[in-house]
Amino acid sequence: MKKILKYTLFDLLRSRWNYIYFGFYLIFTTSLLMLSGDVSTVIISLMNVILILCPLIATIFGVMYAYNSREFTVLLLAQPIRRSAIFWGQYFGLALSLSLCLLLGIGLPFLYYGLSSSGAAWEFLTLLGNGLLLTFIFSGLAFLIALRNDNKIRGFGLAILTWLFFAVVYDGIVLLLLLFFRDYPLENAALGLSILNPIDLSRILILLKLDISALMGYTGAVFQKFFGTLWGTIVTLLSLGLWVLIPVLSIRMIAKRKDF
Amino acid sequence: MIKIQNLHKAFGKNTVLNGIDLHIKKGGRITAVLGPNGSGKTTLIKCILGMVIPNTGNIQIQGKTIAGQWQYRKAIDYLPQIAQFPENLTVRELITMIKDIRQAPAQDDKLIQLFGLENYLDERLINLSGGTKQKVNLTLAFMYDSPLVILDEPTSGLDPVAMVRLRALIREEKQAGKTIMITTHIMSFVEEIADDIVFLLDGKIYFQGPIQALQEQQQETNLERAIASILDQKTSSLSTHALTS
């Protein structure tokens, strides 16, 4: 797997789309830091961008790369190498190349502007960590969709719909449910529903780390009470871990019995 | 070398291989797998390589069943039909990668020289023409000394000089005692290079044996006509069947 990962990374790190992605984060973060000057404010602004952009780019890149490398995968399948090594190598290569863009694109300007002396290093790491997790989760989902659908247009459509569902539609459904059952105590239900969506989970984690949960009223207090505890942290990490693990294991299962 | 028993494969409702039994003996012979479009040639080859998983049946390579295995592919050199590589890697990096995966002695320098690829080694694969990509493809396929060589449409996109070199290369491999399987639509190439023919029709083996035997069976002196006459017989028997039923 390491060999496939290495060469996938070589290939992708030279793709101009990766440079554009890296350049966007670099310019955007630098501009925000120059305009605001306050690291904590910039972290909140970046949170909104990362929560939408990381899953979107990982989804689009994932599905495009999986389809584009189909013939090359066939060449690799004829080599003495395990099927799972090929697909995992390609998946981790893709997720790592996107992660590097995020890490350097956001990390370099923050380091330059003196992150270590700002006292917001922990918040910054939470933001970055969530961005990386979302990249791994959504590129895994995109890879899985591309593996399950030979029709490129259908696969591409499904991948975009998946992103749209988690980034936008899911929140709409949750809001409607909360409105519909507003006469009942819903804090625990809202908590449960948030855990099922990786984007929501990341958003809550970052907000709580930024200590602005007070803005969320009573629900914020419940969230703080839950996510602030050891048990809450374990459940959150477990949930995000499962969101990475399930697509990765499914890739292996599908790759094992797929015809090429 | 290759032993296939009762191989069946269907993609949804479309049955592609319908009970293939094939035995290709070891060493020094070239077998051409022929058949009309959609007859199952590529599917058969992909089953041998483990890319397509059969519904039922058994495939043995060098006496070992291949289901769920991958090590057996060390004994196979394969040339895929479509040459498509990671766009941003250079030719040199691609060759290094395959060498890195296979970890066996390779004769890549000789092949790079043979196909005139020296000047393209540091070019990215996205910038290469179709014919040059096919030459890279051939280099990757022939650089190992494996006992079984499988070539899927090896002539596509090649210029005449490269064609002459490819023929010589295939003959060399044959003389080295390798078992070679080829699929192609160019009958003159088959006549010139192949010893045996496996003719697939509707997912079954219609004929297996030396070229001369097929020509005698069909009472034709030329392979292309012999194949055409099989297909003619098939079409006329189908229309007779349709009229009577």
What are the residue ranges spanned by the domains of chain B? Answer: 2-244
Residue B9 pLDDT exceeds 80: yes
Residue A23 to residues A27, B113, B178: CA-CA distances in angstroms? 6, 41, 52
Q: A257 and B53: CB-CB below 8 Å?
A: yes
- Distance from B74 to chain A by nearest Cα, in Å? 5
- Classify domain B2-244 by CATH architecture: 3-Layer(aba) Sandwich (3.40)
In this predicted model, what pLDDT tens digit does every residue of B146-186 receive, in sequence order? 899 999 888 887 888 888 888 888 998 899 889 999 998 88
Which residues, listed in sequence order, are joined to residue B199 by a DSSP beta bridge? B34, B207
Q: Which of B73, B85, B89 is the closest to A78 by Cβ?
A: B73
pLDDT given for residue A177 in this prediction: 87
Report the C-alpha gap between B194 and B176 in whole angstroms. 15
User: Cβ distance B162 to B115 under 8 Å?
Assistant: yes
pLDDT band, residue A50 (cuts 50/70/90): very high
Residue B227's pLDDT is 84
Closest C-alpha among B51, B75, B86 to residue B2: B75
Average pLDDT value over all residues in chain B: 86
Following CA atoms A257, B2, B7, B13 in sequence, which dihedral angle do they give, to the nearest 10 degrees? 60
H-type alpha helices, B121-222: 130-142, 160-175, 187-193, 211-218
ipTM of the complex: 0.81
Strands B56-61 and B64-65: antiparallel
Q: How far is A83 from chain B (nearest CA, A)?
A: 8
CA A194 to chain centre: 15
> In this predicted structure, what is the pLDDT of residue A135?
95
Please give the average per-residue pLDDT across A47-75, as a whole number.
Answer: 90
CA distance B53 to chain A (A): 6
Kindly indicate the confidence band of residue B188, based on its pLDDT and cuts at 50, 70 and 90.
confident
Distance CA B20, CA B8 (A): 7
The widest CA-to-CA distance across chain B, in whole angstroms, is 64
- What's the confidence (pLDDT) of residue B121? 93
| 90-119 of B, contacting A, C-beta below 8 A | 93, 97-98, 100-102
Distance from CA of A71 to the nearest CA of B (A): 5
Residues B121-137: what's their mean pLDDT?
89
**Residue in B with minimal Cα distance to A77:** B51
User: What's the rounded mean pLDDT across residues B212-240?
Assistant: 79
Among B11, B51, B101, beta carbon nearest to A81: B101
The reported pLDDT for the residue numbered A246 is 93
Q: Is the pLDDT of residue B29 over 90?
A: no
> Which parts of chain B are beta strand (E)?
2-11, 14-24, 30-34, 56-61, 64-65, 76-79, 148-152, 179-183, 196-201, 204-210
Percent of chain A with pLDDT over 70: 93
- In whole angstroms, what is the distance from residue A200 CA to residue A194 CA? 5
Model pLDDT, residue B238: 62
| C-alpha closest to that of A248 among A82, A97, A136, A94 | A136
Q: Does residue B86 or residue B190 have the better pLDDT?
A: B190
Q: What was the pLDDT predicted at A219?
A: 60
The pLDDT value given to residue B92: 92
pLDDT at position A257 is: 85
Residues 6+ apart with CB under 8 A from B92: B121, B122
Categorize the per-residue pLDDT at B228 as very low, low, confident or very high, splitting at 50, 70 and 90: confident
Look at residue B243 in the predicted model and tell me its pLDDT.
54
Chain B environment of A3 (Cβ under 8 Å): 97, 100-101
pLDDT tens digits along A142-183: 999 999 999 999 999 999 999 999 998 998 898 888 888 888
Over 80: is that where the pLDDT of A117 sits?
no
If you ran DSSP here, which 8-state letter would residue B2 be given? E
Tell me which of A13, A77, A90 to substitute to probe the interface with B (most B C-beta atoms closer than 10 Å): A77
The percent of residues above 70 in pLDDT, for chain B, comes to 96
Model pLDDT for residues A82-115, shown as the tens digit of each residue: 888 999 999 999 999 999 999 999 999 988 887 6
Q: How far apart are CA A251 and CA A89, in angstroms?
A: 11
d(CA B154, CA B166): 8
With 60 as the cut, is the pLDDT of residue A214 above it?
A: no
- Which pLDDT value is given to residue B87? 80
For residue A71, give the chain B residue with the closest CA: B84
B contacts of A10 (beta carbons < 8 Å) = 88-89, 93
At B136, give phi and psi (nearest 5°). -65, -40
Residue B113, min C-alpha distance to chain A (Å): 23
Whether the Cβ atoms of residue B73 and residue B115 lie closer than 8 Å to each other: no
Cα separation of B38 and A227, whole Å? 58
The whole-number pLDDT of residue B162 equals: 81
Interface with chain B: mutation pick from A75, A87, A97, highest number of B CBs within 10 Å: A75
The shortest CB-CB distance from B97 to any of A7, A70, A260 is to A7
Helix (H, G, I), strand (E, B), or coil: what is residue B35?
Answer: coil
Query: Is residue A221 predicted with pLDDT exceeding 70?
Result: no
Of the candidates B160, B164, B158, B147, which has an alpha carbon nearest to the alpha carbon of residue B77? Answer: B147
Residue A43 confidence (pLDDT): 87
Q: Do B85 and A8 touch (CB under 8 A)?
A: no
